[in-house]
Structure 1
Amino acid sequence: MITPIPSSDGSGYASLLAELKERIRTARLQASVAINRELILLYWSIGREILARQTAEGWGARVIDRLAADLRRDFPDMTGLSPRNLKYMRAFAESFPKEEIVQQVVAQLPWGHNVKLVEALKDPAERLWYARQAFEHGWSRNVLAHHIASALYLRQGKALTNFARTLPAPQSDLAQELVKDPYTFDFLALGPAMSERELERGLLEHLRSLILELGKGFAFVGSQHHIEVGGHDYYLDLLFYHLRLRCFVVVELKIEDFKPEFAGKMNFYLAAVDDQLRHESDAPSIGIILCKGKNEVIVEYALRDSTKPMGVAEYRLSAALPAPLQAELPTEAEFAREFPLMSLVKLRIEVEREIRLLMNDHTEVERPLAIGSMLTELQRLGLAPQSMDRFRAALDAMNHAVHGLDVADADASDATDIATTFLAELRTIRSGRSS
């Protein structure tokens, strides 16, 4: 009797395959986590022993080099036993002296994360906070480095809010922990003259970076999200849904300092979102007003009697250009030297343009391209300005500037004055002829 082979597209076989694959994935993940945990505990114990022996025996740093050589000789297939890594183990044990903390939190993180924590942070409380956050939110090493560089520890939960009064516990505490002040948008390249729309567009173009800065749990719903109230249209700058808080989050962007009326408008938006978008199982919607700056007393007064949960925070744009771009920019001395020549080039272009416009108004014949020929044509048409001869004399310096040749400061200054006068005369002539 031949035992039949189940069809690969049968429902029973497919469900079995899916179940076994999930078990294998889970087991492999658990094994990986267990291996990492044991490795971190091993590194911590090695570092603790080195630290204790150096303290008790008075050994210097050279003992680490000797230990590394002997250990690598006896365990040639094991990586991570270099002198540098042994020094990291010693610093690791010194940074996290309590074994229960290592077992509960730090051992859950990869070794590269722990090296970053030891290298970048000196304050024990701050170091432990980042370790807990990295473990809780599953940060990669790059994300951990980003949050350390942006001083998240000093910003997290620091926004001015009315959550304690408008939200029930423990949601109020959780909501407070999630908002920052200031928010760092160093991924944007916007100048001080930006508009609110440009700020919004920049954030949307860098949505992944924005979500990273807002924090885990924010799901993007839309920008300029339309709501209708009383027959009138309103648009929310940014709308999110927070998966942990189970509520909508309205973000309003302001390119100016906080004003009390911003809170009133946000209160209105939150009432509309609660009425039109909020599901009966959702928590009350939350508003975040991001401003260029704020006066804390004004914010406190504005939020005091607000009935809807909201917070006010500042945002920071990058204060400096990236190093590669800075290297490409001219120095102050170079700019000071080149600016007069740039002005001459610009003036020459404007003069040529004005001559062509003037000639277009008074002749249908084919116009010459060279500026010298155009000046001759102007004289033939009787349209030459009074400063024509002076301009011809200054033209040599202007041509040098156009071709990138050096021009003496005095010559550049004289040519600029003459060309400016000549351009004004051309415009006067064209204006008079047109009228």
Structure 2
Amino acid sequence: MQVERQNLYTKIIELLNQARQNVAQTINNTMATTYFEIGRMIVEEEQQGKEKAEYGKRVLKELSGKLVVKFGKGFSETNLRQIRNFYLLYSIQQTVSAELGKDQTAPDEFKNEEIADTVSRKSINQQTLSAQFKLTWSHYLKLMRITDVNERNFYEVEAIKNNWSLRELQRQYDSALYARLALSKNKEEVISLGQKGQVIEKSKDLIKDPYVLEFLGLPEKSFYSENDLEQRLIDKLEHFLLELGHGFTFVARQKRITFEEKHFKIDLVFYNRILKCFVLIDLKIGELKHQDIGQMQMYVNYFDREVKLEDENKTIGIILCQDKSESVVRYTLPENNEQIFASKYLTVLPSEKDFIKIIEN
């Protein structure tokens, strides 16, 4: 009887949580769709003025004055301008995506009033809009500040897929997630990244370089041990899983393996549900040495031969280090390597200058 009541309680909690999510989703859809339509109406009204810029400013001022009296300060001139830009940006995204694909840079609507003449002003079907806008208005305000089309699409897709809060979206953008994933991709793959988000089909799709671990609160270039780093990652496991990417589940820390009376400990063990394989992580303070790569090779071989099941894929090993020589990594690993990877980690968010160096290198 006690177990049955507990099951009933659990089912009701799940139902209520799902209902709350559905209500929140409906509110988000309705608000974004409504703002899109308001933006369309404002733009269409502006087209009636011979001097578009001056007429447009007058429209916004008069409209704001009336709406603020009726609905409050949420309809200030500044907010109406953002609503107008929301319509322009997302109608452009749907109507001229092929043209944008040439240089992947969105037109600067904020500087060029004439762009309104190039965009179709027909109202988009309400059902289509509701399906399109799945984030909060605050999310879209952040996304609208990203000028690169592929990058903006990427963060929107990832935010929807992973249910990112606004704070998490900001964090992922600040850590240049898109740039880090796009570093090793060609033009077609970068376009796909913008359209579909992060798609994991092979081991290399999991890897980022660098990993940004600013959420640990460790100062840059300050003394701390590998144990300190490991403990901080465990304490902030939810954040670390987000940084690792899609499909990761935590398995163990300091996983002990033994053979021929010799004991070894793997710092962190995860499982990736998408690739159906174990992912081993070894933490290194300082510069990566070839012995570290050899040690990870041993761990990976052990898991492949003794732990993984027949229907699971080969184990992946990731060595997180403060610094590395690409030559040491390249000549230590076999040419056809698809299992072992070495990536830097950063304990503070890099500056724009630092990210430029990372991309250039």
Alignment-mate amino acid for residue 108 of structure 1:
K
| 30 and 319 in structure 1: CA distance in 2 versus 1, 3 angstrom threshold | closer
- 30-39 or 134-143, larger mean C-alpha shift: 30-39
> Which region of structure 1 is more displaced relative to structure 2, 189-198 or 150-159?
189-198
State the alpha-carbon separation in 2 of the partners of residues 269 and 215 from structure 1. 22
Return the match for 1:148 from 173, 178, 198.
173
- CA 1:24–1:289 in structure 2 vs 1: closer, same or farther (change >3 Å)? closer
CA shift, 1:297, in A, is 3.9
Aligned pairs for 1:209-220 (under 5 A) are 209-220=239-250
Unaligned runs of 5+ in 1: 1-7, 161-170, 321-435
- After superposition, give the CA deviation of every residue in 1:267-295 in whole Å (9 maximum; x if it has no partner): 21011122333233433221111122233
Match of 2:136 in 1: 110
Structure 2 counterparts to residues 171-186 of structure 1, below 5 A: 173-186=201-214
**Equivalent residue, structure 1, for 2:101:** none
**Aligned equivalents of 1:104, 1:271: Cα separation in 2:** 49
**Which residue of the partner structure matches residue 127 of structure 1?**
152
**Which residue among 38, 49, 57 is the counterpart of 1:61?**
57
Paired residues for 1:11-410 under 5 Å: 26=18, 29-54=21-46, 57=49, 58=52, 59-73=55-69, 76=71, 80-96=74-90, 97-99=92-94, 103=129, 107-119=133-145, 121-156=146-181, 158=183, 173-186=201-214, 187-189=217-219, 191-305=221-335, 309-318=339-348
Aligned amino acid, residue 206 of structure 2: L
Residue 211 of structure 1 deviates from its aligned partner by: 2.5
Based on CA coordinates, which of the two structures has the bigger radius of gyration? 1
RMSD between aligned residues: 3.6
Structure with greater contact order relative to length (CA < 8 Å, sep ≥ 6): 2
Q: Give the Cα–Cα distance (whole angstroms) in 1 for the partners of residues 203 and 77 of structure 2.
A: 45
TM-score, normalised on structure 2? 0.70
User: For residue 65 of structure 1, what is the amino acid of its counterpart?
Assistant: K
- Number of aligned residues: 300
State the alpha-carbon separation in 1 of the partners of residues 238 and 94 from structure 2.
Answer: 37
Does structure 1 retain, via aligned residues, the 8 Å contact 2:283–2:321? Answer: yes
Quickly say closer, same or farther: Cα 1:264–1:40, change in 2 above 3 A: same
Q: Deviations over 1:84-107 (max 9, x none)?
A: 322221222233223489848750
Contact 2:174 2:349 in 1 (8 A): no
Distance 1:286 1:107 in 2: 37
How much identity, in percent, do the aligned residues show? 30
Per-residue displacement from partner, 1:343-380 (whole Å, max 9, x unpaired)?
Answer: xxxxxxxxxxxxxxxxxxxxxxxxxxxxxxxxxxxxxx
Q: 1:24 to 1:62 in 2, by over 3 A?
A: same
Give the conservation status (yes or no) of the 8 Å contact 1:218–1:242: yes
Give the 3-state SS of the residue equivalent to 2:264 in structure 1.
strand
| TM-score normalized with structure 1 length | 0.59
Find runs of 4+ consecutive structure 1 residues off by over 6 angstroms: 8-11, 13-21
2:219 alignment partner AA: A
